């Protein structure tokens, strides 16, 4: 089959996360039709996760291409760029405070970013409750999307923006995420200035991190007077069940954590004992390095579907950059196949280089020698 011109192509984005929505927004700005399919039943179906720092040299470039950079700055929290490195006693080892007007990597809550992108799209762009099961059809197209409700859709280009466990990825790659050996356990703190003033003072306006070589934590201010804390351990992927506990056994898990962090000061252990509600288990996964695939003119990937890496602050930024570059390639190419090839010739080398640099990076989150913890704000819901 001859690859169609993008202006006449049926373009399908799978996944309504920041990457998928950015791709759709840039496509629509250039007059290209696109449909986004999302398995969630609606935009408020689940918590969207913590805060994100968008970098001037990638994430912000993508929002500029989307025509949303000024709107982003109106929502972002520049003060969230503050970083503190603590030791297990709570003593301050390192402190970075952004200068007035600094906008190199301001923070925004993931939910706010998603709403900004959703509101920018033409009505009806996102089809909610559309859980993709499989893709069929010849590699040169057209492709058929098979959804869990029995619906089938024919399309000329499938863009997999559906995250770590992408249902699009198998159409181009057999790779699956692997456990890194490091696990995050997320704890939430709400109304922190009133209910948790000591923790609010410890964390500050941005983030605070500490580690002792075997365990660590990363605490981060979110919007709405909230703080999320990620307790970091080297552990089996099923460590909660292996301890005879259920994921909702907050008291039992807390007792294990207090034992593991027994040598840390009471001030630091507040970040384990005073959380509001249950913990959330988040084992850290990554795709094999390098992860590439043979060019296919009708299927491509972006973001975590293409290059899942440890949460060291690059994930969402690369996803937005991927999304904008793919959309711009489609807007300027003669055919869909030409656009996909041009996009992958830039994206794949970049993602491989970054993944190699971050390979094993989850272990660095436990290092007592590190001067800081990088930007661990990309921890996912």
What is the pLDDT averaged over residues 74-98?
A: 95
Long-range contacts of 95-100 (CB under 8 A, 24+ apart): 96/372
pLDDT per position as a tens digit, 155-198: 999 999 999 999 999 999 999 999 999 999 999 999 999 999 99
What is the pLDDT averaged over residues 44-59?
A: 89
| 192 shares a domain with 55 | no
The structure tokens listed for 132 are 């993709």
Burial class (CB in 10 A: 0-12, 13-18, 19+), 8: exposed
| 302 shares a domain with 230 | no
89 in a structural domain: no
Q: Which residues are annotated as a binding site?
A: 46, 53, 110, 304
The CA distance from 222 to 107, in Å, is 8
| 119 shares a domain with 32 | yes
The CA distance from 205 to 302, in Å, is 32
| 170 shares a domain with 240 | no
pLDDT at 373 over 80: no
| 161 shares a domain with 44 | yes
| 115 shares a domain with 69 | yes
CATH number, domain at 57?
3.50.50.60
Cα–Cα nearest to 312, from 223, 372, 238: 372
47: pLDDT confidence band, cut at 50, 70 and 90? confident
Cα–Cα nearest to 362, from 260, 215, 253: 215
Q: Which residues are annotated as a binding site for FAD?
A: 53, 110, 304
| 128 shares a domain with 19 | yes
| 370 shares a domain with 332 | no
pLDDT at 80 over 70: yes
**Are the C-beta atoms of residues 243 and 183 closer than 8 Å to each other?**
no
97 in a structural domain: no
53 in a structural domain: yes
Cα–Cα nearest to 205, from 94, 80, 101: 80
**Three-state SS annotation for the chain:** CCCCCHHHCCEEEECCCHHHHHHHHHHHHCCCCCEEEECCCCCCCCCCCCEEECCCCCHHHHHHHCCCHHHHHHHCEHHHHCEEEECCCCCEEEEECCCCCCCCCCEEEHHHHHHHHHHHCCCCCEEECCCEEEEECCCCCCEEEEECCCCEEEECEEEECCCCCCCCHHHCCCCCCEEEEEEEEEEEECCHHHHCHHHHHHHCCCEEEEECCCEEEEEEEECCCEEEEEEEEECCCCHHHHCCCCCCCHHHHHHHHHHHCCCCCHHHHHHHHCCCCCCEEEEEEECCCCCCCCCCCCEEECCHHHHCCCCCCCHHHHHHHHHHHHHHHHHHCCCHHHHHHHHHHHHHHHHHHHHHHHCCHHHHCCCCCCCCCCCHHHCCC
CATH number, domain at 235?
3.30.9.30
pLDDT per position as a tens digit, 305-330: 999 999 888 999 999 999 999 999 99
Please give the share of the chain, as a percent, with pLDDT higher than 90: 89
90 in a structural domain: no
| 171 shares a domain with 303 | yes
| 48 shares a domain with 131 | yes
101 in a structural domain: no
The CA distance from 180 to 381, in Å, is 17
The CA distance from 327 to 306, in Å, is 16
**Are the C-beta atoms of residues 215 and 208 closer than 8 Å to each other?**
no
Q: What is the pLDDT of residue 45?
A: 81
What is the pLDDT averaged over residues 212-234?
A: 95
What is the pLDDT averaged over residues 208-233?
A: 95
141 in a structural domain: yes
94 in a structural domain: no
Q: Which residues are annotated as a binding site for NADPH?
A: 46
Q: What is the pLDDT of residue 369?
A: 67
| 192 shares a domain with 65 | no
346 in a structural domain: yes
Number of compact structural domains in the chain: 2
| 116 shares a domain with 247 | no
Q: Residue 147 belongs to what domain range?
A: 6-80+108-176+287-361
């Amino acid at each position: 089959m001859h690859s169609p011109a993008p202006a006449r192509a049926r373009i399908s984005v799978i996944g309504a996360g920041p990457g998928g929505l950015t791709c759709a927004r840039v496509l629509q700005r250039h007059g290209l039709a696109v449909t986004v399919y999302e398995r969630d039943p609606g935009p408020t179906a689940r918590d969207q996760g913590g805060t994100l720092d968008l970098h001037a040299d990638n994430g912000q470039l993508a929002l500029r291409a989307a025509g949303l950079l000024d709107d982003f700055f109106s929502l972002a929290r520049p003060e969230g760029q503050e970083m503190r490195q603590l030791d297990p006693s709570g003593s301050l080892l390192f402190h970075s405070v952004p200068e007035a007007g600094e906008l190199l990597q301001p923070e925004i809550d993931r939910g706010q970013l998603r709403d900004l992108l959703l509101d920018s799209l033409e009505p009806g762009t996102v089809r909610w409750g559309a859980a993709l099961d499989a893709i069929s059809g010849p590699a040169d197209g057209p492709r058929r999307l098979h959804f869990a409700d029995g619906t089938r859709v024919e399309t000329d280009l499938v863009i997999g923006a559906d995250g770590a466990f992408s249902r699009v990825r198998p159409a181009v790659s057999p790779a699956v995420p692997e456990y890194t050996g490091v696990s995050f356990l997320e704890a939430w703190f709400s109304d922190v200035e009133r209910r948790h003033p000591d923790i609010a003072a410890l964390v500050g306006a941005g983030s605070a991190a500490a580690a002792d070589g075997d365990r660590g934590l990363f605490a981060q201010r979110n919007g709405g007077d909230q703080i999320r804390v990620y307790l970091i351990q080297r552990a089996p992927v099923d460590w909660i069940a292996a301890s005879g506990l259920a994921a909702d056994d907050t008291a039992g898990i807390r007792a294990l954590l207090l034992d593991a962090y027994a040598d840390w000061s009471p001030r630091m252990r507040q970040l384990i004992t005073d959380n509001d509600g249950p913990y959330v288990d988040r084992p850290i996964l990554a795709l094999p390095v390098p992860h590439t695939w043979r060019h296919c003119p009708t299927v491509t990937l972006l973001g975590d579907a293409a290059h899942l890496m440890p949460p060291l602050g690059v994930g969402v930024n690369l996803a937005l950059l991927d999304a904008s570059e793919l959309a711009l390639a489609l807007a300027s190419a003669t055919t869909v196949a030409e656009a996909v090839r041009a996009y992958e010739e830039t994206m794949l080398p970049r993602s491989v280089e970054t993944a190699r640099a971050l390979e094993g990076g989850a272990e660095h989150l436990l290092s007592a020698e590190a001067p800081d913890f990088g930007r661990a704000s990309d921890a996912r819901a």
